[in-house]
Amino acid sequence: YAVTDTALVARSGAFHRTTAIVPHERTQGIRLYQGPLARRFGVAELQLATIAGPVAPVVHQMDLDEARALFLAQSDRAAVARKKKDTNHWLEEA
């Protein structure tokens, strides 16, 4: 994965590579997930909720501490980006 000023980029797949680019303001939710096997190995995955589409943005098999740090940082980046790019009031006069 990589984080830029405007988006989080997640690449996954061993044989079929997929790349998901999620602009920070389009992040609708974030989930830190750890199944029983992942818990045993101390890894987790970060799942980003966006609009429905062909690619599900997930950062797989991260160290648990790194996943927690990314979770907190991405939620902050998404909140700030949504405040800057608020398009909910598009009908109001300027």
Reported as a single tens digit per residue, the pLDDT across 5-43 is 999 999 888 898 888 899 998 888 999 999 999 999 999
pTM more than 0.95: no
Instruction: Supply angle C-alpha 8, 14, 16, rounded to 5.
Output: 80
With bands split at pLDDT 50, 70 and 90, how would you rate the model's confidence at 89?
Answer: low
CA dist 8 and 20 (Å) reads 8
The tokens for 66 are 């790194």
Residue-averaged pLDDT of the chain: 87
Most confident of 8-17, 45-54, 71-80: 71-80
Instruction: Kindly state the percentage of the chain with pLDDT values over 90.
Output: 55
